[in-house]
Amino acid sequence: MPKTTAALVIPASGVPFEQSTIERRDLRDDDISIDIRYAGICHSDIHTAREEWGPARFPLVPGHEIAGVVAEVGPSVTRFKVGDRVGVGCMVDSCGECAMCKDGEEQFCERGAVMTYGSIGYDDEVTYGGYSQSVVVSERFTCRIPEELEFEHAAPLLCAGITTYAPLVRWGAGPGKKVAVVGMGGLGHVGVKIAAAMGAEVTVLSRSLAKSEDARTYGATHHYSTAEESTFEELAGRFDVILNTVSADLPMGDYLGLLRPFGAIVNVGLPPSSYEFAPGAVVGRSRVLAGSMIGGIADTQAMLDFCAKHGVGAEVEVITADEVMTAYDKVVAGDVRYRYVIDTSTIQPK
Ligand code: NAP
Ligand code: ZN
């Protein structure tokens, strides 16, 4: 019998969250049932719930930054046991057989990865995310949360951590490299910590200087306001890698001008608008404008292990289920330091 669990549900387009219940499937052989402790609020949840990326699938239960404890395991599960500390990120299934899956890049599965919420699983059932008290996931899509990381600080790493870690590795952040992080929000602040832990020289580019002190605490050595014209003159041609995490439109041409020859902007922000830049902005100095989408499961585990080793966790504000609607507005207004995390034990079906 499928199990009923408490969840924060948006029943239909444009309607507020309700504290309600959903059903989780019976465990398949390779499934794990997880008691969720905390679920992070990613800006992608907000883009989705507000249908800024196009129509969403309702009822919607967002949440792809999940941390909790294994409550039950299916008969063929080998890597986890009851009581283990685990996390689930943006994906819950993929074919496991295509070249991308075999390469550990399940997000690019040729059959189509099944996302943690608002997606249709291979069983034709809609997926419901982490704003809930439990979830059933294949062990293939479950990561181990090292003891050093507390659940609430670890939850956001399952999206914000891997989304910044994977491109920083891919584009060579490390000693001797100058890395800029644009936008110090949920993704950005974790990106700053990870890039600094990798040994890069990190600069934060923010809308104002309000986060300067925090940026330095997280390992940045420089912090600039992009509201000042002089910032773009002073930093022209400086960076090897720029990680853009901004959730809104950006004058991309101006930022391309901050790259050294052959330098790369890696874009992870997903505003609904388009970027505009002149071809010369990339042709000149052979610059690169790249994108990056989350990261595979093995890389997600590597990221968690890296964060545990280097003492990197997300800075969080823990909230109750009642506070989620307000939290969404605050994230959009930039009024969060730096990730809201829902204490899922506070979800009370009415
Ligand atoms: P967030 O916490 O809201 O952070 C975004 C940051 O961007 C803000 O803190 C702010 O930094 C800056 N910003 C916001 N509005 C701005 C504006 N109007 N103009 C200039 N800067 C602005 O969001 P997040 O959760 O980190 O997510 C960031 C983006 O990444 C979202 O679009 C999300 O959908 C996307 N995302 C992509 C992936 C992927 O796989 N590529 C994964 C997860 C999320 P300052 O105050 O420092 O300026
Ligand atoms: Zn996310």
Q: In the prediction, which pLDDT does 268 show? A: 98
Give the residue, by CA position, lying nearest to ligand 1 atom 23: 43
Q: Tell me how far apart the alpha carbons of residues 209 and 82 are, in angstroms, rounded to a whole number.
A: 46
**Residue 187 CA to ligand 1 centre (angstroms):** 7
Asked whether the predicted pLDDT for residue 350 surpasses 90, the reply is no
User: Which distant-in-sequence residues (6+ apart) come within 8 Å of 179 by Cβ?
Assistant: 168, 173, 195, 200, 201, 202, 203, 239, 240, 241, 242, 243
Q: In the prediction, which pLDDT does 152 show? A: 98
Residues with CB under 6 A from ligand 1: 42-44, 47, 159, 163, 183-188, 206-207, 211, 245-248, 268-271, 292-294, 331, 334
What distances in angstroms separate CA 219 from CA 205, 278, 316, one per listed residue? 14, 33, 17
Domains, the chain, with CATH or none: 3-159+313-346 (3.90.180.10), 160-291 (3.40.50.720)
Residues 114, 99, 244: CA angle, nearest 5 degrees = 65
Asked whether the predicted pLDDT for residue 344 surpasses 90, the reply is yes
Q: What is the pLDDT of residues 133-148, one digit of tens each?
A: 999 999 999 999 999 9
Asked whether the predicted pLDDT for residue 304 surpasses 80, the reply is yes
Of the chain, the percentage scoring pLDDT greater than 90 comes to 99
Beta strand pairing status for 85-88 and 143-144? antiparallel
Give the residue, by CA position, lying nearest to ligand 1 atom 21: 246
3-state secondary structure at position 234 = helix
Q: In the prediction, which pLDDT does 2 show? A: 81
Asked whether the predicted pLDDT for residue 221 surpasses 80, the reply is yes
Q: What is the pLDDT of residues 65-95, one digit of tens each?
A: 999 999 999 999 999 999 999 999 999 999 9
**Residue 127 CA to ligand 2 centre (angstroms):** 15
